[in-house]
Amino acid sequence: MSSDKLVQFKDCRILRNHKIIKEDLWVRDGKIINPEKIFFDEKIKADSVIYCGNNIIAPGFIELQINGGYGYDFSFEEKTEEAISIVGKNLLSHGVTSYCPTIVTSPVDVYHKILPKFRKKQGGSHGATMLGVHVEGPFINVEKKGAHPANFIKSYEQGLATLEQVYGSLENVKIITLAPEFPNSGAVIKELAKKDIIVSLGHSTSNLSQGEEAVKSGATFITHLFNAMLPFHHRDPGLVGLLASENIPRSVYFGIISDGVHTHPAALRIAYRVHPKGLVLVTDAISALGLQDGEYKIGQLNVEVRENKAYIKGTDTFCGSIASMIECVKIFMEATGCSHEYALEAASLHPAEVLGMQNQKGTLEFGADADFIMLNDNFDIQSTWIAGECVFSK
């Protein structure tokens, strides 16, 4: 179908302005179109009509933290292009239309080899749109390393110069997870913010005061809340306390893994009720996503999946999820009792807001990219669309 053709999606319920409403969706040139201009100004009819069977149309999901899937790991220097191709393609069946491939703590030479290969790329039938890389480490606290190899963790004594030396280039980087409790963190965060790089706080022993200073310097996100950080304490709630802090200039967003393993349902409810506007669903999925129990890799570490849970091999330490985004949406909705609209926006609008792309993605407002999904009432993905093109159909 030619991109300049006017397409009307009929007999559907669309998620717009936080409500699911019975309304047609109009698409042309890869964008959501205001039908009033068509009726009153252009006075034309649709070139084609697609009947949706009363399915829900919602913005496509945006994944801010995914390490790999289907046997591939983004942090592994072999078969990088193949990993991008296979994972990006399979994400379409999960309702993901855009994503930030995530690279965990790695040797310096690995960053130099693979980061140039993760160029931003428009999505389509080949796979989801790549919005830039999320580098999770190596500037984290070894005490909260999780699945990150301790021997490659670094500090940033020389400020931004150290980051540029380690990564080789920041050109393809969109998000950096770092621990804010070390010297020079404020200066580093300010410099990254000037470059429009999202600073996320995580893998950290930071207290609340240090977290607040990081937000004042420009940090806007928290990596997988509750995981790899100090547990909540009533005298000093640590990074978790940022959700309710009154000493920061802006509200923070936070990723949360609702895979049924990483975060207890009660913890999901607490985060949702305390700061619903900042909640972003992430999968933190690893190479075992889409596969059975067995042994895999995440970055430089060996991983084993036992009973649908991923551990560092030979330990009981969790090291990422194997849940898809639509599974996380369903689990979150069941755990919190939130509305259908909210659960869908937590995986679409909220991550778009983190990236400052809320007028372009994560929404079905007029003028936005026509990236959307169709779901039935059980929230099963029926089809996925990027720029008005059907890129996956059940």
**CB half-sphere exposure, 366, CA atoms < 13 A:** 7
In a domain, 359, yes or no: no
Domain identity same for 106 and 47: no
Name the residue with higher pLDDT: 13 or 304. 13
d(CA 24, CA 45): 13
Q: Is residue 2 scored above 80 in pLDDT?
A: no
In a domain, 104, yes or no: yes
224 annotated as ligand-binding:
yes
- CATH number for 376: 2.30.40.10
- Chain mean position to CA 175: 10
| Residue ranges making up the domain that contains 19 | 7-58+364-393
9, 57 contact by CB (below 8 A): yes
> How large is the average pLDDT for residues 87-106?
98
Question: Which of 14-18, 41-45, 282-286 is the least confident region?
Answer: 41-45
Domain identity same for 350 and 215: yes
61, 97 contact by CB (below 8 A): yes
Within 8 A by CB and 6+ apart from 287, the residues are 67, 68, 69, 70, 71, 72, 73, 296, 297, 298, 303
Nearest to 189 by CA among 204, 229, 278: 204
Domain identity same for 74 and 188: yes
In a domain, 1, yes or no: no
CA angle 139–143–147, rounded 5-degree value? 75
Within 8 A by CB and 6+ apart from 241, the residues are 208, 211, 232
Distances (CA, A) of 135 to 45, 223, 243: 47, 11, 23
361 three-class SS? coil
| Length of the chain, in residues | 394
Name the residue with higher pLDDT: 45 or 335. 335
Nearest to 375 by CA among 125, 13, 9: 13
> How large is the average pLDDT for residues 207-213?
98
Active-site pick, 259, 284, 369, 371: 284
Angle of helix 325-336 relative to helix 265-274, nearest 10 degrees? Answer: 80
In a domain, 290, yes or no: yes
Angle of helix 208-217 relative to helix 185-194, nearest 10 degrees? Answer: 30
Domain identity same for 220 and 325: yes
State the pLDDT confidence band at 300, using cuts at 50, 70 and 90.
confident
Residue 3 has what pLDDT?
Answer: 66
316 is an active site residue: no
> How large is the average pLDDT for residues 314-336?
92
CA angle 117–122–126, rounded 5-degree value? 85
Q: Is residue 157 scored above 90 in pLDDT?
A: no
Q: Is residue 30 scored above 80 in pLDDT?
A: yes
88 three-class SS? helix
Integer Rg of the chain from CA: 21
State the pLDDT confidence band at 295, using cuts at 50, 70 and 90.
confident
Q: Is residue 103 scored above 90 in pLDDT?
A: yes
10, 48 contact by CB (below 8 A): no
Q: Is residue 329 scored above 60 in pLDDT?
A: yes
Nearest to 146 by CA among 227, 239, 76: 227
What domain count does the chain have? 2
Domain identity same for 54 and 114: no
State the pLDDT confidence band at 1, using cuts at 50, 70 and 90.
low
Distances (CA, A) of 214 to 156, 158, 159: 15, 18, 14
> How large is the average pLDDT for residues 301-326?
86
Q: Is residue 151 scored above 70 in pLDDT?
A: yes
DSSP 141: -
- CATH number for 201: 3.20.20.140
Q: Give me the percent of the chain exceeding a pLDDT of 70.
A: 99
Domain identity same for 348 and 370: no
Residue 248 has what pLDDT?
Answer: 97
Residues β-bridged to residue 32: 27
Domain identity same for 43 and 115: no
Domain identity same for 33 and 162: no
Domain identity same for 34 and 110: no
Question: Which of 85-99, 113-127, 207-221, 309-323 is the least confident region?
Answer: 309-323
DSSP 42: I
Domain identity same for 86 and 230: yes
In a domain, 346, yes or no: yes
Domain identity same for 27 and 157: no
Nearest to 199 by CA among 225, 180, 171, 181: 180
81 annotated as ligand-binding:
no
In a domain, 2, yes or no: no
Domain identity same for 182 and 240: yes
- Residues 51-66 have pLDDT tens digits of 999 999 999 999 999 9
203 annotated as ligand-binding:
yes
DSSP 255: E
- Residues 162-192 have pLDDT tens digits of 999 999 999 999 999 999 999 899 999 999 9
> How large is the average pLDDT for residues 35-59?
90
How much is the mean pLDDT over the chain?
Answer: 95
146 three-class SS? coil
Distances (CA, A) of 77 to 187, 298, 300: 31, 12, 10
Q: Is residue 251 scored above 70 in pLDDT?
A: yes
d(CA 8, CA 28): 9
